[in-house]
C-alpha cells in the first residue's frame, strides 16, 4: 500500500497524537469492559417416555436437558431445535436464557439425536403432542413457576423447525404464555411448493392461504432437508440455530445428571445409548406418510391435492387463528427457504383473530445466519417481560434492518428502522418498466437452468454486485428483461413488489420472476437471491394475464441505480418441466409497484463519552473519505497525451514485508497493434506485474497507465482489459458457445456488446463451438478461454501462459489466434516461457530478471543486437572470401549453403550489397542468434 505521509507541522503532529490517544483509550475501555467467561449453568439430563401416538401403549423416548437458573422457581422456556439438528445445537442459547433467569428445557425431537421415533414434520399427533407432554412434565418440576395446577408459566422459543413447533403448540395448548418463533414458516406447502395460484387468504380462519395443487417444487432446499432427515448422525443438520464452536458434543454441559420429578410421561436418567434405528427403507427416519409425499414431489415435480393437504395439516397456518399468546415473529431478510411472506402471513392471521403480534425482520436467515448476540439478548428480554411483567418491551410493533455498505472491518453496516405498530402502513411507489414483448424458451430437459443462488450460501454474496454475479445467471434465450429508469434518490424497497404480465403460448407455463438492482455500470445484484416461481395456466385463447407478487426484500436502491425485472423459464433450485416450450412475455401494465414502509432509525440517548468518540471517529472518517475521494479523482483523471496508448508502465515497484522486492523500477511502453511477449525466468516478477496491471494488487511505487487512465483496484478503465490468467471453469455439459453466452450474461452487460461472433471467429473454433465442452481437447479449451477473454473485444488483451499444455500444432494455432487479434488494431500482452514461440508470435518483447527490466524492443532488433548474421547464398566459398576482405568482419564460417559471420556493427543490408557486387546471389539474410541465445546472455544460464 502507498505510505501515508505524516504531518509536518508541530500543531498537526499534536492533533494527530491526541487522536491516537483517544482511539487507544477507547480500545482500552472496550477491552476492560469486555465480559469475563460466563459462569457454568447447572444442567440435568433425562430421558422422558411419551406416547408414540394418541391412545397408543407404545412409547417414544425423548432425550432432554434441563438448565437451571440461579434462583427458582422461575418461568420456563421450552427450546426446540432446528431441522436436522438435536438438543446440543441449542445448548449455548439455553445457557444464556438460564443466566437470564429462566428454567430452560431442551430436547432432541423424535427421530433426531438420541431420541427414538420417526420424523413427522411437526405432526400434531406426534411432535406437537410430544411438546404438550413436556409442558406437563415441566409443571411437575419444583423449579418452575406455576400459574395453576398443571399450568407452568412458560414460553416457547425456536428457530425454523423449532419455530413452527412453537406456533403449533401455542395454537393447541392454551397454557403457553408467550412464543418467539424465528425464521420459520406459515404454510409448509407454500414454503416448499410456492405457486402464484393460491386462494386469497381469509383472515382468522384455519384455511387462510389455502393451497392450489400443482405448485412449483423447491427441489434444492427440499433435497437438503430430506437428506438431513435421512441421516442417522446426531448434531448436524440444516438450521439457523446450529451448534456454536465448542458446543457440538456437550450432551451434559455442566452439573449433575439426574432424573426429573414425577410425571405421567415418566423420567429416567439418560443412559449411554446408540442412535435410534432408522425408519423406512430409503427414507431415513421419516414416517411412511412423509416418505410417500416426498417421493411424489421429487419424482413428479408437482404437488397433488393430497400432498398439499398433508403439508397444510403440518403447518402453523392450520392453527394461527387460535393463537392468543403474545407472539414475537423474527424473520430473516436473507432466506430463500422461508421468505418474509411466510412471517407476514402468520402475523396477519394471528392479528386478524385478535392475537397480539410484534414482528422483526433482521439481516440473517437460512442463507444469512442466526440472529446476532444483541438481537438474541433482546428476545430474552422480551420473553422475560411477557412472562414476568418486569423490565420493558424492547420491541416496537414492527421493525426491519437495512444493510448498508461494508465497514473497514469487512462486516456490513446495519441500521434498524422502527415502523410503529403492526401491520405497518406501506406506501406504494410506482416505477415505469420498459421493454418490448420477448420470446423465451424452456430448453429440452430444462437445462441449462438459470441460477439464482446456492441454498444456504446466498447471504455471503447477495450484498455485493460482483460476488452476486458469480451466484446468478440467466441463460440467453431463456429470459425476458424489463428495466426501469434510474431512480433519482435512494429508494428503500421494503416488502413485495407487484407487476402485471401477459404470457402467451400453450399449456401450463412454469416461470420464475426476480427483481435485480441494476448498477450504472451494468452489473446486477439479486437482493437476497430471491426468486418468485409461478405456474400460469394458459387458456385456449393462448394468452393469460397474471399479477406477479415478487419476493419480499429489504433493499436500499441507490440514486442512479435502476430495477430490472427478469422472467426466466428455468431455475436450478426448482423442478422445471423437461419438455421444450416457447412463451412470449410482455407487460400487461408497464407499472412496477414497489412497497416502501416509512419509519425512523432506532436509538436513544448515548453517554457523552460515546458521543465524543463517535464525533471524533466521524471526523476522522470524513477526512479520510475526502482524501480518498481526492486521490480517486486524481487517479482516474485521464492523460490526453496517452489516451491512444494501450499501456505505459513507469517506475513500477512492488515490495513485500521482509525485504522481498518482486518488481523493481520497471518501465516500458506498448503501442496499438503490438503483440508483446513478457519474458523472464521464474521469480522474475512477470506474474506480479500482470496482477498489478489487472488491478488485483497495488504497487508500492510507480504507476500503470492504460489508455491515459491510471490503473488502481476497481478503476473503470479495467473494463477495457480482457484477461486470461487461470482456468476459466467451463461447464462441461454445455457447448462452447453456451458457456460464452452464460459468462457474458453473468456480467449483466447488454448482449449486443459481447461481439460473440467476432470473438469466436478470431478464436477459430469453427463448428466445434456447438459441441459440449467435455468433448474438447486441451487446445480447444485454451482457444475457448481466449475467446472468453476476447468477449466485448477489449482493446488490451492480457494472457498468462496461454499455450500451457498444448502440443506443437495447437501452439501454432494459438499463434495465429493472437496475431489475428492484434491485426484488428488491438494490443496483446502475453507471458510465456516458450522462447521459440514468442520469437515467432510476438512483435516486441520485454525481458525481466530479478524484478528489473534487462531488455525491451522489437524481437528482430533484440535478436540482431550482437551483430552475428547468416546468409544463404549460391556460392558459399566466394561469399566467405568476400566477407573476410571487409575490415572488422570476423568469425566467418561456411556451413553448406550458409555463411555465418560477425559483422561487428556493419548493417546486414550493406553486407548483402557487398556480396551482390562480388557476384554472389543472396537468397536469405538474417540474424544468426535465436531469441533463446539472447535470453540466456541477458539473464545467465541460471535463468534458463
CA–CA separation, 220 and 227 (whole Å): 11
Helix (H) or strand (E) holding 626: helix 608-636
Instruction: Name the DSSP letter for residue 611.
Output: H
Highest mean predicted confidence (pLDDT) among 107-111, 235-239, 857-861: 107-111
CA–CA separation, 62 and 115 (whole Å): 5
CA angle 376, 377, 380 (to 5 degrees): 90
Residues 828 and 793: beta-carbon distance below 8 Å = no
Q: Tell me the mean pLDDT in the region 98-104.
A: 96
Q: Tell me the mean pLDDT in the region 359-376.
A: 90
The 10s digit of each residue's pLDDT in 702-712 is 999 999 999 88
In DSSP notation, 842-876 reads -SEEEEEETTEEEEEEEHHHHHGGG-EEEEEES-H
Residues 815, 818, 821, 827: is their CA dihedral positive or negative? negative
Beta-bridge partners for 501: 546, 587
> Is CATH 3.30.70.100 the right assignment for the domain spanning 867-943?
yes
In DSSP notation, 439-480 reads EEEE-GGG-SPPB---TTTGGGTTT-HHHHHHH-B--TTSEE
Lowest mean per-residue pLDDT among 138-152, 278-292, 668-682, 787-801: 278-292
Say which residue, 786 or 937, is predicted with more confidence.
Answer: 786
Hunting for cell 422475560 — which residue is that?
A: 384
Q: What is the pLDDT of residue 545?
A: 94
Highest mean predicted confidence (pLDDT) among 401-415, 584-598, 739-753, 787-801: 584-598
Residues 121 and 168: beta-carbon distance below 8 Å = no
Cell reading at 832: 510465456
Hunting for cell 408437482 — which residue is that?
A: 302
Per-residue pLDDT band for 231 (boundaries 50, 70, 90) equals low
CA–CA separation, 494 and 818 (whole Å): 50
Write the CA distances from 172 to 132, 151, 312, 489, 819, integer angstroms: 9, 14, 15, 48, 77
Residue 31 reports pLDDT greater than 60? no
- In 801-844, where does DSSP find H-type helix? 808-823, 835-841
Q: Tell me the mean pLDDT in the region 387-395.
A: 91
Q: Tell me the mean pLDDT in the region 190-210.
A: 50
Per-residue pLDDT band for 538 (boundaries 50, 70, 90) equals very high
642-860 shares the fold of 47-395: yes
Q: What is the pLDDT of residue 303?
A: 79
Which among 336, 575, 301 has a CA at the least distance from the CA of 454? Answer: 336
The 10s digit of each residue's pLDDT in 124-138 is 999 999 999 999 999
Residue 906 reports pLDDT greater than 90? no
Q: Tell me the mean pLDDT in the region 628-635.
A: 53
Exposure b/e, 234-243, CB count within 10 A at least 16 = b: bbbbbbbbbb
Lowest mean per-residue pLDDT among 406-420, 497-511, 647-661, 788-802: 406-420
Residues 440 and 568: beta-carbon distance below 8 Å = yes
Highest mean predicted confidence (pLDDT) among 62-66, 306-310, 531-535, 838-842: 62-66
The pLDDT mean for the chain works out to 80
Hunting for cell 454486485 — which residue is that?
A: 465
Residue 206 reports pLDDT greater than 60? no
Instruction: Name the DSSP letter for residue 8.
Output: -
Q: What is the pLDDT of residue 382?
A: 95
Helix (H) or strand (E) holding 191: helix 188-192
pTM (predicted TM-score): 0.60
Rounded to 5 degrees, φ, ψ at 492 are -95, 95
Print the SS3 string covering 196-246: CCCCCCCCCCCCCCCCCCCCCCCHHHHHHHHHHHHCCCCCCCCCCCCCCCC
Highest mean predicted confidence (pLDDT) among 197-211, 228-242, 326-340, 518-532: 326-340
Highest mean predicted confidence (pLDDT) among 413-417, 529-533, 733-737: 529-533
661: left (phi over 0), alpha (psi -120 to 50) or beta: beta
Exposure b/e, 607-618, CB count within 10 A at least 16 = b: eeeeeebeeeee
Per-residue pLDDT band for 791 (boundaries 50, 70, 90) equals confident
Q: What is the pLDDT of residue 888?
A: 80
Q: What is the pLDDT of residue 193?
A: 84
User: What SS3 class is residue 553?
Assistant: strand
Q: What is the pLDDT of residue 225?
A: 80
Which among 810, 815, 813, 812 has a CA at the least distance from the CA of 799? Answer: 815
Rg (CA), the chain: 36
Which among 166, 158, 172 has a CA at the least distance from the CA of 206? Answer: 172
The CATH number assigned to the domain with range 47-395 reads 3.40.50.1820
CA–CA separation, 449 and 440 (whole Å): 13
CA–CA separation, 894 and 616 (whole Å): 83
Peptide bond into 101 cis (omega under 30): no
The 10s digit of each residue's pLDDT in 134-188 is 999 999 999 999 999 999 999 999 999 999 999 999 999 999 999 999 999 999 8
Q: Tell me the mean pLDDT in the region 446-453.
A: 86
Q: What is the pLDDT of residue 624?
A: 54
Q: What is the pLDDT of residue 301?
A: 78
The CATH number assigned to the domain with range 642-860 reads 3.40.50.300
Q: Where are the domains of the chain?
A: 47-395, 427-597, 612-638, 642-860, 867-943
User: What SS3 class is residue 567?
Assistant: strand
Question: Pairing mode, if any, of strands 76-79 and 103-107?
Answer: parallel
Largest CA distance in the chain: 127
Residues 890 and 901: beta-carbon distance below 8 Å = yes
The CATH number assigned to the domain with range 427-597 reads 2.60.120.260
Residue 938 reports pLDDT greater than 60? yes
Instruction: Name the DSSP letter for residue 337.
Output: S
Lowest mean per-residue pLDDT among 218-222, 461-465, 884-888: 461-465
Residues 915 and 882: beta-carbon distance below 8 Å = yes
Residue 47 reports pLDDT greater than 90? yes
Q: What is the pLDDT of residue 181?
A: 97
Per-residue pLDDT band for 739 (boundaries 50, 70, 90) equals confident
Say which residue, 658 or 473, is predicted with more confidence.
Answer: 473
Residue 235 reports pLDDT greater than 90? no
CA–CA separation, 487 and 559 (whole Å): 5
Q: Tell me the mean pLDDT in the region 800-816.
A: 76
CA–CA separation, 276 and 119 (whole Å): 12
The 10s digit of each residue's pLDDT in 562-585 is 999 999 999 988 988 889 999 999
CA–CA separation, 811 and 804 (whole Å): 9
Name the CA dihedral angle for 165, 170, 172, 174, rounded to a multiple of 10 degrees.
Answer: 150
Amino acid at each position: 500500500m502507498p505510505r501515508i505521509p505524516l504531518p509536518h507541522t508541530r500543531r498537526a503532529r499534536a492533533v494527530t497524537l491526541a487522536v491516537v490517544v483517544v482511539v487507544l483509550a477507547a480500545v482500552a475501555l472496550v477491552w476492560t469492559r469486555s465480559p469475563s467467561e460466563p459462569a457454568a449453568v447447572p444442567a440435568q439430563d433425562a430421558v422422558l417416555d411419551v406416547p408414540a401416538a394418541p391412545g397408543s401403549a407404545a412409547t417414544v423416548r425423548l432425550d432432554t436437558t434441563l438448565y437451571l437458573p440461579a434462583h427458582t422457581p422461575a418461568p420456563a422456556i421450552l427450546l426446540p431445535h432446528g431441522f436436522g439438528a438435536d438438543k446440543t445445537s441449542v445448548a449455548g442459547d439455553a445457557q444464556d436464557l438460564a443466566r437470564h433467569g429462566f428454567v430452560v428445557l431442551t430436547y432432541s425431537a423424535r427421530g433426531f439425536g438420541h431420541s427414538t421415533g420417526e420424523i413427522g414434520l411437526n405432526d400434531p399427533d406426534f411432535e406437537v403432542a410430544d411438546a404438550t407432554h413436556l409442558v406437563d412434565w415441566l409443571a411437575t418440576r419444583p423449579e418452575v413457576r406455576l400459574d395453576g395446577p398443571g399450568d407452568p408459566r412458560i414460553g416457547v422459543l425456536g428457530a425454523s423447525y423449532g419455530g413452527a413447533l412453537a406456533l403449533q403448540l401455542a395454537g393447541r395448548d392454551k397454557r403457553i404464555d408467550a412464543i418467539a418463533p424465528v425464521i420459520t414458516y406459515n404454510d409448509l406447502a407454500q414454503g416448499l411448493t410456492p405457486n402464484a395460484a393460491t386462494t386469497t387468504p381469509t383472515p382468522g380462519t384455519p384455511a387462510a392461504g389455502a393451497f392450489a395443487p400443482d405448485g412449483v417444487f423447491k427441489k434444492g432446499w427440499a433435497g437438503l432437508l430430506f437428506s438431513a432427515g435421512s441421516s442417522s448422525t446426531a448434531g448436524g443438520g440444516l438450521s439457523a440455530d446450529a451448534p456454536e464452536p465448542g458446543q457440538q458434543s456437550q450432551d451434559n454441559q455442566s452439573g449433575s445428571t439426574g432424573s426429573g420429578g414425577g410425571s405421567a410421561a415418566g423420567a429416567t436418567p439418560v443412559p449411554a445409548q446408540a442412535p435410534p434405528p432408522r425408519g423406512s427403507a430409503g427414507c431415513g427416519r421419516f414416517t411412511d406418510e412423509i416418505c410417500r409425499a416426498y417421493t411424489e414431489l421429487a419424482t413428479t415435480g408437482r404437488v397433488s391435492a393430497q400432498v398439499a393437504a398433508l403439508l397444510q395439516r403440518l403447518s402453523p397456518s392450520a392453527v394461527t387463528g387460535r393463537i392468543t399468546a403474545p407472539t414475537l415473529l423474527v424473520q430473516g431478510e436473507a432466506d430463500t427457504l422461508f421468505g418474509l411472506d411466510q412471517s407476514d402471513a402468520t402475523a396477519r392471521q394471528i392479528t386478524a383473530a385478535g392475537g397480539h403480534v410484534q414482528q422483526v425482520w433482521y439481516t440473517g436467515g437460512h442463507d444469512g445466519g442466526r440472529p446476532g448476540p444483541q438481537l438474541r439478548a433482546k428476545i430474552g428480554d422480551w420473553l422475560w417481560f411477557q412472562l414476568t411483567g418486569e423490565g420493558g418491551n424492547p420491541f416496537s410493533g414492527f421493525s426491519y434492518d437495512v444493510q448498508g455498505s461494508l465497514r473497514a472491518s469487512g462486516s456490513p453496516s446495519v441500521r434498524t428502522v422502527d415502523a410503529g405498530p403492526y401491520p405497518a402502513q406501506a406506501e406504494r411507489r410506482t416505477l415505469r418498466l420498459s421493454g418490448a414483448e420477448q420470446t423465451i424458451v424452456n430448453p429440452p430437459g430444462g437445462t441449462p437452468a438459470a441460477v439464482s443462488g446456492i441454498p444456504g450460501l446466498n447471504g455471503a454474496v447477495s450484498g455485493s454486485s460482483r460476488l452476486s454475479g458469480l451466484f446468478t445467471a440467466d441463460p440467453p434465450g431463456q429470459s425476458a428483461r424489463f428495466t426501469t429508469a434510474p431512480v433519482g434518490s435512494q429508494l428503500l424497497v421494503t416488502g413485495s413488489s407487484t407487476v402485471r404480465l401477459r404470457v402467451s403460448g400453450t399449456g401450463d407455463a412454469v416461470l420464475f420472476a426476480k427483481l435485480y438492482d441494476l448498477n450504472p455500470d451494468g452489473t446486477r445484484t439479486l437482493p437476497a437471491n430471491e426468486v418468485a416461481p409461478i405456474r400460469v395456466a394458459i387458456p385456449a385463447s393462448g394468452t393469460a394475464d397474471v399479477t406477479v407478487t415478487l419476493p419480499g426484500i429489504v433493499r436500499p436502491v441507490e440514486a442512479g441505480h435502476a430495477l430490472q425485472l427478469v422472467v426466466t423459464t428455468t431455475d436450478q433450485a426448482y423442478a422445471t418441466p423437461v419438455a421444450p416450450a416457447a412463451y412470449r412475455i410482455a407487460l400487461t401494465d408497464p407499472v412496477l409497484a414497489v412497497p416502501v414502509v416509512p419509519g425512523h432509525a432506532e436509538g436513544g440517548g448515548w453517554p457523552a463519552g460515546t458521543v465524543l468518540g463517535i464525533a471524533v471517529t466521524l471526523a476522522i472518517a470524513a477526512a479520510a473519505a475526502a482524501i480518498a475521494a481526492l486521490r480517486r479523482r486524481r487517479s482516474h483523471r485521464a492523460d490526453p497525451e496517452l489516451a491512444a496508448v494501450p499501456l505505459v508502465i513507469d517506475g513500477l515497484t512492488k515490495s513485500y514485508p521482509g525485504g522481498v522486492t518482486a518488481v523493481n523500477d520497471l518501465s516500458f511502453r506498448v503501442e496499438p497493434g503490438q503483440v508483446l511477449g513478457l519474458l523472464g525466468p521464474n521469480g522474475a516478477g512477470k506474474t506480479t506485474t500482470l496482477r498489478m496491471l489487472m488491478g488485483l494488487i497495488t504497487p508500492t511505487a510507480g504507476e500503470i497507465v492504460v489508455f491515459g487512465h491510471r490503473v488502481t483496484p476497481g478503476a473503470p478503465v479495467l473494463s477495457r482489459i480482457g484477461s486470461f490468467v487461470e482456468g476459466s471453469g467451463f461447464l462441461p455439459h454445455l457447448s462452447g458457445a453456451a458457456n460464452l453466452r452464460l459468462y457474458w450474461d453473468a456480467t449483466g452487460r447488454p448482449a449486443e456488446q459481447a461481439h460473440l461472433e467476432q470473438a469466436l471467429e478470431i478464436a477459430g473454433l469453427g463448428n466445434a463451438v456447438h459441441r459440449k465442452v467435455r468433448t474438447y481437447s486441451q487446445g480447444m479449451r485454451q482457444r475457448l478461454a481466449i475467446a472468453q477473454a476476447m468477449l466485448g473485444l477489449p482493446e488490451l488483451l492480457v494472457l498468462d501462459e496461454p499455450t500451457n499444455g498444448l502440443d506443437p500444432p495447437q501452439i501454432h494455432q494459438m499463434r495465429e489466434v493472437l496475431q489475428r487479434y492484434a491485426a484488428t488494431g488491438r494490443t496483446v500482452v502475453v507471458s510465456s516461457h516458450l522462447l521459440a514461440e514468442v520469437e515467432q508470435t510476438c512483435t516486441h518483447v520485454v525481458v525481466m530478471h530479478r524484478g528489473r527490466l534487462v531488455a525491451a524492443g522489437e524481437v528482430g532488433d533484440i535478436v540482431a543486437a550482437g551483430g552475428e548474421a547468416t546468409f544463404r547464398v549460391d556460392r558459399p566459398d566466394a561469399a566467405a572470401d568476400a566477407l573476410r576482405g571487409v575490415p572488422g568482419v570476423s568469425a566467418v564460417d561456411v556451413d553448406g549453403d550458409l555463411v555465418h559471420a560477425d559483422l561487428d556493427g556493419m548493417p546486414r543490408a550493406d553486407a548483402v550489397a557487398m556480396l551482390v557486387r562480388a557476384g554472389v546471389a543472396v537468397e536469405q539474410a538474417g540474424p544468426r542468434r535465436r531469441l533463446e541465445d539472447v535470453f540466456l546472455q541477458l539473464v545467465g544460464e541460471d535463468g534458463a
